[in-house]
Structure 1
């Protein structure tokens, strides 16, 4: 039997460029993507200790009218039809027509930070089941995933050599190398992670049925990556873990350096951008180059600015895993900066865009997005899509002088539970969401909004759908496991 170990995971990299990635046993000699009745050879894009990773691509033009089309496909391995881990041998995806408004789904935080949370969650994949039902009723054109597509935090307890390393004092940790025993253990950990975490029947079907784009966040590496002291980030063990996580992210989420949407195929970052049915999709890589002093390198900034200069029409959807508009942690951060416990709080405080070391970059990003929004037509929307914080919400950046707005939608998590009531009360007590002004003239106002039919913060697992309505508003609907049905029209 020709079995797939991971996938298929469907993707899109340009207006008509559809792709697929999957892994097989190492003895497979040839793989083919049979899509829309046409057979195309796949190429090897990487390998893991027990598998070969393959990628395929196909140009599929949109139908000329207002109706789309369904395109079916199969994978063949050495001439035999392949079967995924859930027993499927055939899949299909929807290509919207040229005159049709696309429908997007967006989700993040697709996993659990610890096993206790999983055991306490009655139906871990409920929202994937809901997405499957929604997709069957009215197909999604594109699935955007904004970080933490899987959780690698168990690496510290699952890898024997890392358990031993954890027990060392700080100086010994920094001087210890990732030895020949540790390295294959780390590699096999990430291999198993990808082979086991995307196997839920509904989740695997959606990843194979809705073309997706993905950008990573810290849990795709491990909790808090990039917000540790420089000497720890630069240590041999941390760097080997990062490079291994990066290899797997590149193969399965970016679908290799052959990805046509990457802004710079030779860079250390994975920022990408492309246009799709009247929308510009732009993803910021806020992890590959993150330190306590920066979120994005000067090279990534140059690539982003150059790309934004080409975006002169259409709506703009920007993926930023950590929210740009959110509650302010800066006062709490300043208190802990004066204590010996700062390092323990890096994930909660130093990760945020409003952390004191990142405020300048945040202002630069906001100004660039506002400038781009002003250059495009007033009726074209700019929306930042974020996750990370395990609640849903919406905020707005309003440039009154230029008469433009940038909205931000947070959807989190599609699997990870929201904070408990006690945890949320603690967050509320340690933060604030007062209106913020970004300039001296107070022309740029940043504030949180309240979705319709909901509290201001949606403390329930969720994903969002986005579609332009007949009223020319981009309707955001949080698909939540809570009793409310939150929505908001972006004007």
Structure 2
């Protein structure tokens, strides 16, 4: 009988020529990964409660022809199987001059057990992704946040449940006990193993190279948008440190990830070049506070990449929370003066258009337009697309620079597993928000607006993921794959 992996394999990509396979095994042995006829030694990076986490790097030069790479994991006892009894996997490498096909998804779980109970096939979209990949393979799967939902920690971590019942004045004084930290480690580790072992999802994570960036639910709901005394208390800091540990292992695939812009581990923003695309992932959680989204050092790292590396080709920017979306500012002002402030603050302050973040949002938009100007001066492609999730509906937005005739599109796909708001909930959201066009400067040359995808309503109140690929018409086609018969799409020039 073959030995089984605890979790994995997890396939990722770090540049045009570097692919990574990671896995969690029960035994502390010598492991290697066989890529076609090439054997690559796997290096152990972490000892966890459930086993040992390994990483193998496979370097393969681009070719004028596309290729299928078959791989297996072995130790001295033989070939290993995954949780679903598969003992080999395959992935697709596009040709050197081939235009890659991307998939993008977010919100890979449920924020409450009640939502899970109401869904007949929770991972239906992963099944659709598996079918789509077999028909026409994806080059990269981009995951834009909430790859796991850790919100149950308040009831599953017993020491944390006790702490949560204290008065606020007591909460902020208490330190996390060794027992609490041990329970937190156990919770997050088991969460990844359980949620990522679904048959279709695990096959996709082993067969499509991924890049991932976290959002709040990978830590817990609203992380970074709580009042300062709570956000900086010892218990919250310890929750974050444990969540960060497992995010770094399972999603970033260890600190050895070559795409990270900072080696200090103070943020996880990353960037890589894949064929004719730059992929820039913004970490909007590691340094987030109620007053800012990203710290100064992170901004320097991002600006350096935009100024020194992203000087040609197209740019995909991951911002988990949408930069262009409905305006919650009126609701925010109302809540600031009501008894609901404590309960709703984290939800409202999480948006880019919260008053504390509006200046930083403008900074991001202007930096992206500056980058477009640099690429235009080099007579290179200037298509810039922001990929977002978080809001549990799909949508499409655009930021126009009318003076320079430049634009930035934003594609929202949410969620691949999480359910959309109910009809009544959506009516409530629409009643207290608006999506009127917004001018960002006094001469009204920078304007944001929401667009309507072809073949759907303006907002896709249905579970979905997105595919992005350039057609023969040289347009970037955005297709939402939905949990119903709708097939929304849009072509970006």
How many angstroms does 1:441 deviate by? 0.8
Deviation at 1:174, TM superposition (A): 1.1
The answer to whether the 8 Å contact 1:28/1:77 transfers is: no
Instruction: Report the Cα distance in structure 2 between the residues aligned to 1:77 and 1:349, rounded to whole angstroms.
Output: 50
**Secondary structure in 2 aligned to 1:451?**
coil
Residue in structure 1 matched with residue 246 of structure 2 by the alignment:
248
- Higher mean alpha-carbon deviation, 242-251 vs 44-53, is at 44-53
Q: Where do 1:378-393 residues align within 5 Å?
A: 379-393=381-395
The CA deviation string for residues 137-189 of structure 1, in whole angstroms up to 9 with x for no partner, is 11000000000001000000011111111111111111111112111111100
Structure 1 residue aligned with 2:480: 478
Q: What is the 5 A alignment of 1:300-449?
A: 300-309=298-307, 310-377=309-376, 379-449=381-451
CA offsets 1:363-386 (integer angstroms, 9 cap, x no match): 000000011112214753100000
| Match among 455, 458, 478 for residue 456 of structure 1 | 458
Contact 1:186 1:244 in 2 (8 A): yes
Asked if 2 retains the 8 angstrom alpha-carbon contact of 1:2 and 1:77, the reply is no
RMSD: 1.0
Partner-residue secondary structure (3-state), 1:442 = coil
* Offset, 1:459: 0.4
1:208 maps to 206
User: Shift of the alpha carbon at 1:77?
Assistant: 2.8
In structure 2, C-alpha distance between the alignment counterparts of 1:47 and 1:333, rounded to whole Å: 44
2:50 matched residue in structure 1: 50
Residues in 2 aligned to 1:321 and 1:249: alpha-carbon distance in whole angstroms: 15
- Does the Cα contact within 8 Å between 2:43 and 2:55 map onto a contact in 1? yes
> Which aligned pairs between 1:177-216 and structure 2 lie closer than 5 A?
177-216=175-214
1:379–1:29 CA distance, 2 compared to 1 (3 A): closer
The 1-side partners of 2:20 and 2:275 are apart by: 17
* Residue 79 (structure 1) shift: 4.4
Aligned residue runs from structure 1 range 274-313, under 5 A: 274-309=272-307, 310-313=309-312
1:123 aligns with 2:125: no
Cα distance in 2 between the residues matched to 1:300 and 1:419? 33
Looking at structure 2, the residues matched to 39 and 344 of structure 1 have their Cα atoms a distance apart, in angstroms, of 54
Work out the CA distance in 2 between the residues paired with 1:159 and 1:395: 40
Which residue number corresponds to residue 8 of structure 1?
A: 9
Give secondary structure in 2 for the equivalent of 1:216.
Answer: coil
Separation in structure 1 between the aligned mates of residue 76 and residue 261 of structure 2, nearest angstrom: 34
Following the alignment from structure 2 to structure 1, what is the Cα–Cα distance between the partners of residues 161 and 76? 41
Contact 2:312–2:381, Cα closer than 8 Å, also in 1: no
Q: Is the 8 A contact 1:30 1:77 kept in 2?
A: yes
Aligned to 1:153: 151
**TM-score, normalising length: structure 2:** 0.98
| Residues 73-100 of structure 1 deviation map (CA, whole Å, 9 limit, x = unaligned) | 0111334211111111100000000121
Query: How far, CA to CA, are the matches of 1:375 and 1:348 in structure 2?
Result: 36
Structure 1 equivalent of residue 222 of structure 2: 224
Gaps of 5+ in 1: none
Pick the aligned partner of 2:110 from 104, 109, 112. Answer: 112
Q: Report the secondary structure of 1:296's partner residue.
A: coil
Which consecutive aligned stretches of 4+ in structure 1 deviate over 4 angstroms post-superposition?
A: none
What do the CA deviations read for 1:233-265 (whole angstroms, capped 9, x no partner)?
111111111100000000010011110000111
Partner secondary structure for residue 172 of structure 2: helix
Deviations 1:421-464 (A, max 9, x none): 00000110110000001111111110000000000000000000
Tell me, yes or no, if structure 1 residue 70 matches structure 2 residue 68: yes
CA contact (8 A) 2:6 2:50 kept: no
Distance in 2 between the 1:9 and 1:212 partners? 8
User: Deviation at 1:14?
Assistant: 1.0
TM normalised by structure 1 equals 0.98
Q: Secondary structure at the match of 2:178?
A: coil
Where structure 2 has 5 or more consecutive residues not aligned to the other structure, the ranges are: none
**Equivalent in the alignment of 1:23:** 24
